[in-house]
Structure 1
Amino acid sequence: MADIFILMLFFVLNADGSHIVGGRDSAPHSRPYMASLQIQGRPNCGGVLVREDFVLTAAHCAVPLQYTVVVGVNSLSGNEATKQELTAVRSFPHPNYDGHANDIMLLKLNSKVQLTEAVQLIALKTGRINVATQCLTVGWGDIGDNNTLARTLQEVNVTTLSQPVCRSFKQRTPTVKCLVSSFLKGDSGGPLVCDGATAGVVSFSGRKCGDSKTPDVYTRISSFREWIRSVKQAKNENVK
């Protein structure tokens, strides 16, 4: 059975089309755990560093090509001195991923990142997320539902809602958590950050961005802590 968060979208564009209302530019290097997963120089998904040589992302981000993993940057178009580039050499999508449920994946890097002020690990959230908890969604994804990727890292505040609201959407699984949120194409695999730890992975959005009748979904990380631990500790892992 799927372990997911259901999240509601409520946003429109500013008049200049550059930002999502309620969102903002992240302060440079204030989210040092963020990783950009790129194919031939183009961003495809987001992720977070959970060990010096592992990135956590979404299983639906798996591709036949190797990812270039970029960390330590605020802007994807600049050449910041803090930038580090690595290669994802092994991928570990959850074995029970079925296109929606269990949408979580670990990427093994070809070497360890150098931890600096601009490159840091993020902890996995433990325990429940209570109603009205303030969290963040972070990413370089589409800023206008029109294939225009963000020039700099974006973040938006999200707030948890009650379980009755979740049940009103009649999702296939009872194991859901609802929040007010805002993510778009290109943010897949990025984090839901609560209390300084990552609590969810951006999974998939509704049919139309900003439509609260088709809310967005995050994978619940707390349900996969043991699997994450086992993958990071395994030896001679098979490449997928």
Structure 2
Amino acid sequence: MALSSALLLLLVLHGADGSHIVRGRDSAPHSRPYMASLQVRGRLVCGGALIREDFVLTAAHCQIPVPFTVIVGADTLSGNESTKQEFRSIRSIPHPRYDGDRNDIMLLQLNGSAQLTEAVQLIPLRRQRLRPSSACLTAGWGDVGDNRTIATRLQEVNVTTLSQKACLRRWKLRKFTIDRTMVCGVGAENFQGFCSGDSGGPLVCAGAAAGVVSFSGRRCGDARTPDVYTRVSPFIEWIAEMLNSSRAD
């Protein structure tokens, strides 16, 4: 099935209500070896994280009707790096209760298994009780804040988590509900966070995937509408079930 340019553009821009790293910094080359780039026709659509050699964790809102090209082991998306490994997604598994906001989590099965190297590694999944003011990090190749410019190198930014109450207080005038499957985060400065193209990328806390980039407000990194991530912990059993069932296929 062909993917129209309009649909592709809509997906790329979802994160502005949703997902690139704004006012972040260049990641040290290959220092985030779990990062995956999800592309269509050579264009970045979403991010993700390698959780098994043949599976990537991303956001359900990233689902499209054609296979992704999945790149791991990359620092830049345009450079011809010897560390890059390229795959095709053969199966998308969005959470069955994804409703457009909640349960925004998805697994992508690849058409092969990544070779683990210094530049390609798995990110751990474990139950985490994220407390307010937890120090975390998110990364991606998305828009740098003007909805036109994709990052040339992997970007990252420090993220501090908020309590559910504090997040709800900031979002309340926008008639939005933050539930237990979500966690909010802000950068150290205003207008610092994720933006278009970073959807599906990981929120990394204590060295493990604690969240998945989901959505934010109209302006990237605006602390008045904190960035929202899907928490990984409530979905650990579902992820394990999907991974185990794939071995039996």
TM-score range, shorter chain: 0.7 to 0.9
Q: Tell me, what secondary structure is at the counterpart of 2:102?
A: coil
Equivalent residue, structure 2, for 1:231:
242
RMSD: 1.9
Aligned residues of 2:139 and 2:202 also touching (Cα < 8 A):
yes
Q: Tell me, what secondary structure is at the counterpart of 1:35?
A: strand
Equivalent residue, structure 2, for 1:112:
113
Equivalent residue, structure 2, for 1:134:
135
**Counterpart amino acid of 2:168?**
R
Shift of 1:159: 1.1
Find the aligned partners of 2:245 and 2:130 in 1 and give their Cα distance.
Answer: 29
Q: Which deviates the most, 120-129 or 173-182?
A: 173-182
Equivalent residue, structure 2, for 1:177:
183
| TM-score, scaled relative to structure 2 | 0.83
Equivalent residue, structure 2, for 1:161:
162
Q: Which runs of 5+ in 1 are unaligned?
A: 1-18
Find the aligned partners of 2:89 and 2:246 in 1 and give their Cα distance.
Answer: 17
Q: Tell me, what secondary structure is at the counterpart of 2:242?
A: helix
Find the aligned partners of 2:140 and 2:54 in 1 and give their Cα distance.
Answer: 20
Equivalent residue, structure 2, for 1:150:
151
Shift of 1:71: 0.4
- Cα separation, partners in 2 of 1:31 and 1:236, compared to 1, 3 Å: closer
Find the aligned partners of 1:58 and 1:236 in 2 and give their Cα distance.
Answer: 22
- Cα separation, partners in 2 of 1:234 and 1:57, compared to 1, 3 Å: same
Stretches of 4+ moved more than 4 A in 1?
235-238
* Larger helix share, 1 or 2: 2
Q: Tell me, what secondary structure is at the counterpart of 1:88?
A: strand
**Counterpart amino acid of 2:221?**
G
Shift of 1:124: 1.2
Alignment equivalent of 1:214, drawn from 202, 225, 237: 225
Q: Which runs of 5+ in 2 are unaligned?
A: 1-20, 188-192
Shift of 1:132: 2.2
| TM-score, scaled relative to structure 1 | 0.86
Q: Tell me, what secondary structure is at the counterpart of 2:235?
A: helix
Find the aligned partners of 2:65 and 2:248 in 1 and give their Cα distance.
Answer: 17
